[in-house]
Chain A
Amino acid sequence: MLRLITKRLFETIPVLFIVATLTFFMMKRAPGGPFDSEKQTTPEIRAQIEAQYGLDKPVWQQYLDYLGHLAQGDLGPSFKYAGWSVNELLWSAFPVSLELGLYALAFALTFGLIAGIIAALRKNTWGDYVPMSFATFGICLPTFVTGPLLLLVFASWLTWFNASGWEQPRDRVLPAITLGLYYTAYVARLTRGGMLEILSQDFIRTARAKGASEWRVVWRHSLRGGLLSVVSFIGPAISGLVTGSLVVESIYQIPGLGKFFVMAGFNRDYTMVMGTVLFYAVLIIVMNLLVDIVQVWLNPKLRFE
């Protein structure tokens, strides 16, 4: 187990290095700098600003500085928000996104697992058809369609929820559902498939022969194997949740990292964009590592390899 973790960590370092290098040089080659829009600046002021951000040094020097700071976890100053460092911006916005992501994931896992297990146990009955038809819809509907539609129905027509904001607890409901819907559907499908596969195995027959109740057959004997595919899906799901949060936070006007990132994109706030991309990369790699560990823990066969 420890070997797996160290191995993964060593793999991660070159990946992050490559990501950092790529983003840095992409930014350097970018047409138009971050201060282009401010037309009134005189050459002197401009030079002063550039010196302030270290942009007057040769590129290789800038690159080394950047990597040096990065190694210390410092993502540099924001180009757009004077006086703010990218780190500060990230840490102020990320908790909101994290909260949203966790709600969405919790929503997806809870309802996806329940629906999937019921569908598997009630195979080829209404208990199977109904949730699985919903899942088929859920998988094809992107967040930027469901988001506005949910707003239309629940905020505009039924007025159960506010259309935007992130103050009251119930402001979390619609965004979490919007973000989690696709994953709910996907988890339901995976769970159903995994459970059906396991329930048809010989060892389930053995469990029944011991007099195990249906409940025990599901919980003790099937769930662990049936959920393997769901667990391996959580890695990609987290990556997708990050991407999805950009849309959801834009639709519901949530002050999270996704919204900041999109705004930084519009403002050509390069350090902020780069910093966020790196942050997302680290986040996702770490989450994938965690998922890998859970997977090994769930599947004894992997544990001995």
Chain B
Amino acid sequence: MSALQKIEMLLEVKNLKTSFHTRNGIVRAVNDVSFAIAHGETLGIVGESGSGKSVTCYSLMGLVPQPPGRIEGGTAIFAGKTDLLNCSPKELNAIRGRRMAMIFQDPMTSLNPFMRIEDQIVEPLLIHGLASRAEAVRQAVQMLEHVGVPDAAKRIRSYPHEFSGGMRQRVMIAMALITKPDLLIADEPTTALDVTVQAQILELIKRLQAETGMAVIWITHDLGVVAGFCRRVQVMYAGRIVETAPTEKLFANTRHPYTRALQKSIPALQPKGTELYTIPGMPPDLSRPTGGCAFAPRCEIARPECSAKLPELLEVGLQHCSRCPFT
């Protein structure tokens, strides 16, 4: 990689390691994860439940509950300057909510039930001193209208419990985008919602991204969503990245057996009438590291040596890496 390319990166994560020290042992939720995202880029992170997608983002945002969580190592350079993992709380607070915002998995619990929507949406502007109160309210109403909340000027005075799940997620989006951040982390923003609302929210974020030119990290366990939206995809399994590639390449030339299995389980890609495919077996217990490839017990092409030594994440094509030496 050339030096020039490096400078353009908005966020560069290297060897991120996050674990939870629980009573039942150390859960290595994120293990040696590295990736980078450029300005305006869209990166998808895909994986089963419990693969460490959320924890990866929480680590970047400084939201890992400590204790029991602990960031064991790594760096995350934001805009070429600040290391999100090792900077002071003050530096971090200057970035989060202003240049880097996040939408959470569950809109029902992510809004403060004791505060009016208005007070919650204007908060990022006020905290970072970007607008006066009156100006902030004006922008908030505008933003709410923009994300499709009808009658925004009036409803902004309500409390979260007066909103439906889809509307709350729109509020969350408005809140995240009101400062026009450079990076939006969307942590499965649609899983808690029903299908039609899911599609609307997805379209909404796509549109907003086109307007503002922000970079988006889109977390999902659904490869299908990734296909239509993300330029690059990275697949996580048991806290590690197992494959990463530009989206078309990943679909055209899938290398890792786990990605293949995920792909097989997308309903839309399966011939009608066949039984839905699900990956056999259970995700591994992260508090008991195996030493070898974590997917080996569930892998169709596993060999004895798979369980003995952890395979490296190797380049298998241009910008395409996979953690399986046998494909």
Query: 10 closest Cβ contacts across the A-B interface?
Result: A211-B97, A210-B97, A202-B109, A203-B112, A300-B159, A211-B93, A224-B114, A210-B124, A211-B96, A202-B110
- Of the listed residues A203, A221, A304, the one surrounded by the most CB atoms of chain B closer than 10 A to its CB is A203
On chain A, the residues within 8 Å of B30 by CB distance are: none
On chain B, the residues within 8 Å of A298 by CB distance are: 114
* CB pair B127 A301 closer than 8 Å: no
**A 174-188 contacts with B by CB, 8 A:** none
**A 210-232 contacts with B by CB, 8 A:** 210-214, 216, 220-221, 224-225
* CB pair A206 B98 closer than 8 Å: no
**B279 part of interface (Cβ distance < 8 Å):** no
Size bracket, chain B contacts:
20 to 34
**B199 part of interface (Cβ distance < 8 Å):** no
Residues of B within 8 A of A (CB): 58, 61-63, 65, 67, 89, 92-98, 101-102, 104, 106, 109-115, 123-124, 127-128, 159, 161-162, 172, 175
Q: What are 16 residue pairs bridging A and B, where the CB atoms are less than 8 Å apart in the complex?
A: A202-B104, A203-B111, A206-B104, A208-B96, A209-B61, A209-B63, A209-B97, A209-B104, A210-B175, A211-B93, A211-B97, A213-B93, A221-B114, A221-B115, A300-B159, A304-B162
A182 to B231, CA, bound (A): 62
A298 to B106, CA, bound (A): 24
On chain A, the residues within 8 Å of B98 by CB distance are: 211
* CB pair A301 B97 closer than 8 Å: no
A209 to B106, CA, bound (A): 14
> Pick the contact of A205 from B63, B92, B114, B162 — CB < 8 Å?
B63
* CB pair A301 B113 closer than 8 Å: yes
**A48 part of interface (Cβ distance < 8 Å):** no
* CB pair A210 B96 closer than 8 Å: yes
A56 to B216, CA, bound (A): 90
* CB pair A300 B114 closer than 8 Å: yes
A220 to B122, CA, bound (A): 13
> Pick the contact of B123 from A124, A212, A214, A299 — CB < 8 Å?
A212
**A207 part of interface (Cβ distance < 8 Å):** yes
Supposing A202-B104, A213-B93, A216-B127 touch, asked if A207 and B159 sit within 8 A by C-beta, the answer is no
**A201 part of interface (Cβ distance < 8 Å):** yes
As a 0/1 sequence over residues 226 to 244 of chain A, the CB contacts with chain B under 8 angstroms (1 = contact) are 0000000000000000000
List 13 additional A-B contacts (Cβ < 8 Å) besides A124-B67, A203-B112, A221-B112. Answer: A200-B65, A203-B111, A209-B101, A209-B104, A210-B123, A210-B124, A211-B95, A211-B124, A212-B127, A216-B127, A225-B113, A300-B161, A304-B162
On chain B, the residues within 8 Å of A299 by CB distance are: 114
Supposing A208-B63, A209-B96 touch, asked if A202 and B106 sit within 8 A by C-beta, the answer is yes
Supposing A210-B97, A225-B114 touch, asked if A301 and B161 sit within 8 A by C-beta, the answer is yes
On chain A, the residues within 8 Å of B67 by CB distance are: 124
* CB pair B110 A211 closer than 8 Å: no
CB of A23 to closest CB in B, whole Å? 42
Q: Which residue of A lies closest to B101 (CB)?
A: A209
CB of B193 to closest CB in A, whole Å? 16
Supposing A202-B104, A205-B63, A301-B159 touch, asked if A210 and B127 sit within 8 A by C-beta, the answer is yes
* CB pair A211 B114 closer than 8 Å: no
CB of A202 to closest CB in B, whole Å? 4
A212 to B62, CA, bound (A): 12
CB of B171 to closest CB in A, whole Å? 11
Supposing A216-B127, A300-B161, A301-B159 touch, asked if A207 and B112 sit within 8 A by C-beta, the answer is yes
CB of B124 to closest CB in A, whole Å? 5
**A 261-305 contacts with B by CB, 8 A:** 298-301, 304
CB of B312 to closest CB in A, whole Å? 34
> Pick the contact of A206 from B58, B65, B89, B112 — CB < 8 Å?
B112
On chain A, the residues within 8 Å of B123 by CB distance are: 207, 210, 212
